[in-house]
Amino acid sequence: MNFLVGNIKLIERIPTSNLGELTICTDDFMRNPMLKPGHLAGRTTTILLAFCFILCLLLGCTGSQDKSSKSPGHDKLPTSTIVPLDGPVLAGKPVTFKLSADLDGIHWVLGDGSMAEGSSVTHTYKEPGIYRVVMGSKLGETLNELSSAIVRVHTQETVHLPQVLLDTDARNEIDDQHYIAYGLFSNLDVLGINSVHHGPFRHDRGGQAQEEMNYGEIIQVLALSRQSDLLKYRPENLMPLVFHGSKVPLEVPGSGNWEDTQPVKSEASEAILAAARGASPDNPVWVLPVGPCTNIANAILQAREEGFDLTSRIKIVWLGGGPEQVNVRSFNGTNDPWSVYVTGQSGMEFWILLENPTGASLALDKRTDLGLYPDNKLGDYLVAISNIWSKSPTKALYDVAVISMVIGNHLGEPWLTLVKPSVVLGPDQEYSWQKAEQPTNVHIIREIDAEAMKADFFNTLNGKPTALPPSR
């Protein structure tokens, strides 16, 4: 993907396919131009064009991701990356960005319209917000991106807020749209939203066009949220960035060793690393995949190649898996079980909120709950897709529980009522869960207070999000 930042053309090093070109000015904080306020009149046309594009993709106009997008060997990797920050960034206070190794001819795009040069730069952000910092080498007016960081610039009143990256196969079902809306209208710091495939061979749900479809649905929900007064609750400078994710699952290496898995880089996997670089170790970013774990597993594998220790930088909550196995009674688990195994083996803090039966217990009762949605365009859309998707009087809202988990965890609410320390086993043991007798990085959530979570979701959607004071 090519970006135009100010007067500098920035060429992404991410080898994804079918992403096209995007022109963005620095005052947009590297956001998609479809999300700019003041474009309400043009947004309908944009959405119609997006649906036409998706139809074209469904008819076979776009091929699957080329295998050449796999990670190159270590000799092809950048020789230097942005050093992760060691504390929060505050508006009006200087922050220094450094490289992991000195390089000559380094240029920086700092996200607020400012640019700088050198292997180390100090900058002061005047306004709080979410900024994407890009470091690269410049040839003429072209900047070749080598590394990036997503930086949340705080005031003293917001420095404690939980930071999240949403990761979703948004067009696959209806719970994803509810989960995005919940995150947007909550008081969580939503740094970005990643799209991802939902199983490339599921031709009944988009086939090879899935990732593009899911990306388009993220844009759709954001547009509807803006038209439903989202900016009253989340100012423009705190709107999340949107990233294309992986189009294909991970491939199991011939060795059967998870460490030998070759990552497939995407905007989303790079965004996870960028958010980790910009995070303060005392406030790690929650990455919340509610589709396959492909994006987060790719990021973990890329971090290993870079020598980047993510353990104090991110936490993961995945919605997926069945009672006994990753890929039984679980749409999400079936679509890339190896990525779940990689994530479980990585040592990262990994919470698994089981798709069935746990996530399914948070259910919409259409006989009584449809009247709880807000009277706005977003509420109308959520009601419409809830009715279209299923004629049953009840519909599971699976993904919503992941947002509630982060909110409840911050507040110390007892919304997780049964959690088991566990191990994720590999394909030779049918991707089963195994109870752990010793402390482990994997925590399987088997029971939740679904009614409390659902109440918080509807309150939030109606403009009454739960306050998130500093943790005690």
Torsion of CA 249, 165, 325, 435, to 10 degrees: 130
The rounded percent of the chain whose pLDDT value lies above 90 is 78
Same domain, 174 and 140: no
- Specify if 313 maps to a domain: yes
Q: State mean pLDDT over 90-119.
A: 95
- Specify if 444 maps to a domain: yes
Q: Does residue 184 have a pLDDT over 90?
A: yes
Cα dist. 296→49, 54, 159, 339 in Å?
30, 25, 25, 8
Q: State mean pLDDT over 294-320.
A: 97
pLDDT of 36-64, one tens digit each? 333 333 334 333 434 443 344 343 333 33
CA distance 406 to 163: 9
Residue 220: CA atoms inside 13 Å, Cβ hemisphere, count?
A: 22
Q: State mean pLDDT over 171-175.
A: 94
Same domain, 131 and 182: no
Provide the pLDDT for residue 142: 87
Q: Of all helices (H) and strands (E), which one includes residue 302?
A: helix 294-306
pLDDT grade, residue 79 (50/70/90)?
Answer: low
Same domain, 274 and 373: yes
- Residue 105 maps to which CATH number? 2.60.40.10
Same domain, 145 and 171: no
Q: Does residue 126 have a pLDDT over 90?
A: yes
Provide the pLDDT for residue 140: 83
Residue 202 exposed, middle or buried by CB count within 10 Å (0-12, 13-18, 19+): middle
Boundary residue ending a domain (109, 126, 154): 154
Query: Does 200 or 425 have the greater pLDDT score?
Result: 425
Query: Would you state the structure tokens that stand for residue 130, as one six-digit string?
Result: 């979410």
CA distance 328 to 219: 31
Boundary residue ending a domain (125, 154, 183): 154
- Specify if 219 maps to a domain: yes
- Specify if 195 maps to a domain: yes
Question: Is the dihedral angle over the CA atoms 331, 335, 337, 340 positive or is it negative?
Answer: negative
Provide the pLDDT for residue 103: 86
- In total, how many domains does the chain have? 2
Same domain, 115 and 41: yes
- Specify if 472 maps to a domain: no
Same domain, 139 and 265: no
Provide the pLDDT for residue 472: 72
Provide the pLDDT for residue 188: 98
Mean pLDDT for all residues in the chain: 86
Cα dist. 406→142, 176, 439 in Å?
40, 16, 21
Same domain, 27 and 92: yes
Same domain, 148 and 182: no
Q: Does residue 70 have a pLDDT over 90?
A: no
> Could you tell me which residues are beta bridge partners of residue 318?
352
Boundary residue ending a domain (154, 179, 194): 154
Residue range(s) defining the domain that contains residue 270: 163-461
Same domain, 241 and 300: yes
pLDDT of 204-238, one tens digit each? 777 778 999 999 999 999 999 999 999 999 999 99
- Specify if 40 maps to a domain: yes
CA distance 82 to 377: 41
Q: Does residue 110 have a pLDDT over 50?
A: yes
Residue 108: CA atoms inside 13 Å, Cβ hemisphere, count?
A: 24
